[in-house]
């Protein structure tokens, strides 16, 4: 039988432990980001491989292989994240915003199923989307492509996560609830952008119906048949938001840069052509720009805004529509800037609308008539105008006849209106 020897040393304190508690659902959010990133890469690669299989019998492609098809699809995917791409002999910098928007919406939809989890776990989708994009971009041999693709993926993931977090129904801090007009202003700005997208798509549809013969001739001149034609049309669909904002710039009367740096507009159509079916949508007849379309749409949208905000305080309405106009102009300018680029070198090195003139035309033609009427038709503005008119009609000795009770009543009414605006 052995006896234990008592400890004679000084007792050491227990080591401090650090507990990291992750919000519930963080793994699912990270998996959603991973799925969206892989989906955005796999589809272009699969389309490129199908296209290679469709033209594999061509004698011009004997030196090509399946690895080249994978590199082609990967380069197109990186191009959608903002990186330059080398597609065959072409060096492209014009971003296919349609595929960028698809990746954002796919991540948004995947994160939309996480309502039963913590809202803070949504941010785990950002590294889940960015890290696979970084790894995939490093596999592309083009120099300097990885950091641009990483920045583009970070922007897409952040916008999608912030969108879901804002719509999650989470109760925001009290200080953020006091500045709720910021949320209404941002919603108004994105509403402006959605209206512009609809107008641009309608303009493209009308132009396609008018110039369908020219589009067929352009497709025939390219020589794409069978699988090549399908891939060509799919690639052009990825540039649909780009074509929409080009149409908006043309409708606004702004100038665009065409082949060889040629500047054209609705009053001065382009003379050089690009062998692409989408370029056939550009009108070749000179005429006045239909800017009045934006004016009519802006007036209708302003009436909708007035119906939605007329019960709020005038100061809150001014903050909301002012913020919506500023952010809307910034978003439209960013849309224009992202829709400029090149389809090669030389004459096609720079194509797209000129950002400054198009943004100014958008602000004067749409934003101004969309933001001023809600302020002029507000009940407080109308009441102030009526009081001023009544003061003008009164004799000079009765101008200062307002009693103290009336001033108190007006102050109480203003306070009630302010509280009502903050609650809404």
Write out pLDDT tens, residues 217-247: 776 766 655 556 677 778 888 999 999 999 8
Element (H, E) at 256: strand 256-257
Residue 394, pLDDT score: 66
SS3 label, residue 95? coil
Residue 359, pLDDT score: 93
pTM: 0.79
CB-based burial label for 234 (10 Å; 0-12, 13-18, 19+): middle
Query: Residue 169 carries which DSSP code?
Result: -
SS3 label, residue 323? helix
Least confident among 14-28, 164-178, 301-315:
164-178
SS3 content of the chain, % helix, strand, coil (to 5): 70, 5, 30
Tell me how far the alpha carbon of residue 30 is from its chain's centroid: 23
Element (H, E) at 85: strand 85-87
Query: 101: closest CA among 221, 269, 239, 295?
Result: 239
- What sign for the dihedral angle of Cα 303, 207, 43, 341? negative
Write out pLDDT tens, residues 169-224: 665 556 555 556 777 888 889 989 999 999 999 888 888 888 777 777 776 766 65
CB-based burial label for 135 (10 Å; 0-12, 13-18, 19+): exposed
| Cα–Cα distance for residue pair 222/289, rounded to 1 Å | 31
3-state secondary structure 265-298: CCCCCCCCCCCCHHHHHCCCCCCCCCCHHHHHHH
Lookup: tokens for 140: 């592309």
């Amino acid at each position: 039988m052995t006896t234990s020897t008592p400890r004679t040393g000084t007792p050491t304190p227990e080591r401090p432990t650090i507990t990291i508690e992750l919000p519930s659902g963080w793994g699912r959010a990270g998996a959603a980001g991973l799925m969206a990133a892989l989906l955005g890469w796999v589809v272009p690669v699969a389309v490129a491989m199908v296209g290679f299989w469709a033209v594999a019998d061509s004698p011009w492609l004997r030196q090509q292989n399946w690895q080249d098809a994978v590199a082609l699809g990967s380069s197109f995917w990186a191009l959608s994240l903002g990186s330059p791409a080398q597609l065959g002999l072409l060096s492209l910098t014009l971003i296919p915003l349609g595929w960028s928007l698809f990746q954002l919406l796919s991540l948004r939809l995947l994160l939309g199923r996480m309502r039963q989890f913590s809202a803070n776990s949504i941010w785990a989708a950002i590294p889940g989307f960015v890290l696979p994009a970084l790894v995939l971009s490093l596999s592309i041999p083009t120099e300097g492509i990885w950091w641009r693709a990483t920045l583009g993926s970070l922007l897409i993931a952040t916008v999608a996560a912030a969108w879901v977090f804002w719509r999650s129904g989470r109760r925001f801090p009290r200080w953020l609830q006091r500045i709720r007009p910021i949320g209404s202003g941002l919603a108004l700005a994105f509403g402006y952008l959605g209206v512009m997208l609809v107008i641009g798509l309608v303009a493209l549809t009308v132009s396609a119906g008018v110039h369908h013969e020219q589009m067929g001739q352009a497709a025939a001149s390219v020589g794409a048949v069978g699988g090549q034609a399908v891939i060509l049309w799919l690639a052009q669909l990825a540039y649909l938001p780009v074509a929409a904002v080009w149409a908006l710039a043309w409708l606004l009367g702004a100038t665009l840069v065409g082949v060889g740096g040629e500047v054209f507009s609705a009053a001065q159509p382009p003379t050089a052509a690009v062998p692409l079916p989408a370029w056939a949508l550009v009108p070749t007849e000179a005429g006045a720009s239909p800017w009045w379309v934006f004016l009519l749409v802006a007036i209708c949208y302003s009436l909708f805004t007035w119906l939605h905000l007329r019960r709020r305080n005038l100061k809150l309405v001014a903050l909301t529509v002012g913020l919506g106009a500023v952010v809307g102009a910034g978003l439209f300018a960013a849309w224009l800037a992202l829709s400029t680029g090149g389809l090669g070198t030389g004459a096609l090195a720079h194509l797209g609308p000129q950002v400054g003139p198009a943004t100014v035309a958008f602000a004067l033609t749409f934003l101004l008539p969309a933001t001023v009427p809600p302020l002029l038709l507000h009940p407080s503005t109308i009441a102030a105008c009526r009081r001023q008119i009544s003061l003008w009609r009164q004799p000079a000795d009765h101008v200062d006849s307002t009693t103290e009770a009336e001033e108190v009543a007006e102050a109480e009414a203003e306070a009630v209106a302010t509280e009502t605006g903050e609650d809404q």
